[in-house]
């Protein structure tokens, strides 16, 4: 009822509709028409006894700038519509050429990641975690790397989001848990102090109904005792649905696996839930650690996290420690464990094994370790 004669709406498929406007003058009029449509479509619908609201999004493509052929034009409108959706519902968005390029880049990434999963191009790097009181290596964190056939070793910044968006994170995450357990088990068999293995688990993995089974079978397959595995979960992934997260955490705890909150302080934690969750450790994000000395916000926040951790009976692990000053500060505050470039970069197992061997028994006065030999293979350019 709100369209002019000559504007013909048609169902494109699913919940998508196409409206063609002819001779609408300039782009401003198209925007006005879109705005009007959004208003009308957002009105409440009564179905039976219930009220239903739709949250429409509109993409606008203009002939011939956005596409000279009908299929190109509709594809452009479609891309713009997804952009509108992504920037919040109930909006319209004009097509821009950049969207086309972005879509192509995403396709290329998706294709490369799928091939990477198929061909087993993922690796784990391991970074030691050191007890600040005794200098003992308490554990290592497993950090994912992608050995891209053309671009070399890439850090998660380049691909984690892609793995999540393309639905590959559960498969790769399962591989990470298994491989990390296998590797630490190998180190246990050498003559080292038995170390823990920290594994990052993303929000999507928490929704994987097979997660607990994957953890259990990784432990049985590798014959690793559960207390050596520590899952690192970010506070935002737990706080998205704290009740459900709590149930899952209790299941994990029942398996005997440890739980750490990663990037603590960067999200929003309800202190009530924090108290109720079966946790073992808090990890101070490196953003705070790197400003502890300079009298910036990092100092007070790190102190607060250490204090909170102590009071809740949790270990506190500082990540991203790069300088002696940061280390001394954290030690003075009572932080238990540190990891960072000051000690060692994340390394391949081949590089880390000799490092572990030569740093097994360090005294408190001798916690400075041999810097890693291969520094630049981590940058992932
Ligand atoms: P994160 O869990 O906060 O890991 C710490 C990051 O800080 C790592 O980056 C590590 O290489 C880096 N780092 C360690 N020490 C220092 C230091 O002294 N200085 C500086 N500047 N950086 C340091 P990385 O390896 O690039 O990983 C980035 C993020 O990717 C991780 O942040 C984690 O959230 C995610 N990630 C890594 N591996 C996995 C994985 O297997 N699964 C999932 N879901 N996420 C992962
Ligand atoms: Ca982590
Ligand atoms: Ca972090």
Residue to substitute in 198, 200, 298 for testing ligand 1 pocket (most ligand atoms within 8 angstroms of CB): 200
Smallest CA-to-CA distance from 329 within 296, 282, 366, 373 is with: 296
When the pLDDT of each residue in the chain is averaged and rounded to a whole number, the result is: 90
Range from 1-5, 98-102, 221-225, 360-364 that averages highest in pLDDT = 221-225
Which residue's alpha carbon is nearest to atom 7 within ligand 1?
A: 320
| pLDDT over 50 (residue 13) | yes
How far apart (Å, rounded) are the C-alpha atoms in residues 132 and 137? Answer: 9
Q: What is the pLDDT of residue 109?
A: 95
Backbone torsion region of residue 90, taken as left when φ is above 0, otherwise alpha when ψ lies between -120 and 50, otherwise beta: left
Write out pLDDT tens, residues 252-310.
999 999 999 999 988 877 888 888 999 999 999 999 999 888 767 778 899 999 999 99
> Which residues are placed with Cβ below 5 angstroms of ligand 3, an ion?
263, 285
Of 324, 264, 314, give the one whose Cα is nearest residue 292: 324
Q: Whose CA is nearest to atom 34 of ligand 1?
A: 200
Residue from 178, 286, 298 to probe ligand 1 pocket by mutation (most atoms less than 8 Å from CB): 286
Contacts of residue 186, Cβ cutoff 8 Å, sequence gap at least 6: 349
Which pLDDT tens digit goes with each residue over 106-160?
999 999 999 999 999 999 999 999 999 988 999 999 999 999 999 999 999 999 9
pLDDT of 372: 46
State the DSSP string of 190-246: TTSPP-EEEEEE-HHHHT-TTHHHHHHHHHHHHT--GGGEEEEEEHHHHHTSHHHHH
Per-position DSSP letters for 301-335, written without gaps between them: HHHHHHHHHHHTT-EEEE----SHHHHHHHHHHT-
* pTM reported for the whole predicted model: 0.81
When pLDDT is cut at 50, 70 and 90, the band that residue 2 belongs to is low
Q: pLDDT > 90: what percent of the chain?
A: 65
Q: Is the pLDDT of residue 370 over 50?
A: no
Return the number of other C-beta atoms located less than 10 Å from residue 132's C-beta.
24
Of 130, 236, 242, 128, nearest to 187 (Cα)? 128
**pLDDT confidence bin for 168, thresholds 50/70/90:** very high
């Amino acid at each position: 009822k709100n369209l002019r004669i000559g504007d013909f709406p048609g169902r494109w498929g699913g919940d998508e509709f196409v409206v063609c406007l002819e001779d609408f003058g300039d782009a401003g009029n198209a925007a006005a028409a879109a705005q009007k449509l959004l208003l009308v479509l957002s009105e409440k619908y009564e179905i039976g006894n219930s009220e239903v609201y739709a949250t429409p999004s509109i993409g606008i493509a203009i002939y011939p700038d956005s596409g000279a052929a009908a299929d190109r034009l509709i594809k452009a409108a479609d891309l713009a519509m997804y952009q509108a959706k992504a920037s919040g519902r109930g909006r319209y968005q004009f097509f821009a050429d950049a969207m086309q390029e972005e879509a192509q880049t995403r396709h290329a990434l998706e294709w490369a990641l799928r091939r990477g999963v198929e061909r087993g191009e993922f690796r784990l790097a391991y970074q030691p975690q050191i007890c600040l009181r005794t200098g003992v290596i308490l554990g290592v964190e497993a950090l994912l790397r992608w050995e891209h056939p053309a671009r070399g070793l890439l850090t998660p910044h380049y691909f984690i989001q892609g793995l999540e968006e393309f639905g590959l994170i559960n498969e790769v995450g399962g591989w990470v848990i298994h491989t990390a357990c296998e590797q630490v088990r190998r180190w246990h068999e050498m003559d080292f102090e038995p170390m823990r293995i920290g594994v990052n688990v993303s929000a999507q993995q928490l929704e994987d109904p097979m997660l607990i089974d994957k953890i259990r079978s990784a432990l049985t397959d590798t014959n690793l005792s559960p207390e050596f595995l520590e899952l690192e979960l970010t506070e935002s992934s737990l706080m998205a649905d704290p009740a459900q997260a709590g149930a899952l955490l209790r299941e994990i705890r029942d398996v005997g696996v440890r739980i750490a909150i990663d990037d603590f302080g960067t999200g929003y934690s309800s202190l009530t839930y924090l108290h109720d969750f079966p946790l073992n450790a808090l990890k101070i994000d490196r953003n705070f650690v790197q400003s502890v000395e300079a009298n910036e916000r990092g100092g007070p926040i790190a102190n607060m996290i250490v204090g909170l951790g102590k009071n809740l009976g949790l270990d506190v692990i500082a990540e991203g420690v790069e300088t002696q000053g940061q280390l001394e500060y954290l030690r003075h505050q009572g932080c238990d464990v540190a990891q960072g470039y000051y000690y060692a970069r994340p390394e391949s197992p081949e590089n880390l094994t000799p490092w572990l061997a030569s740093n097994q028994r360090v005294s408190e006065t001798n916690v400075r370790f041999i810097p890693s030999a291969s520094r630049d293979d981590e940058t992932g350019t």
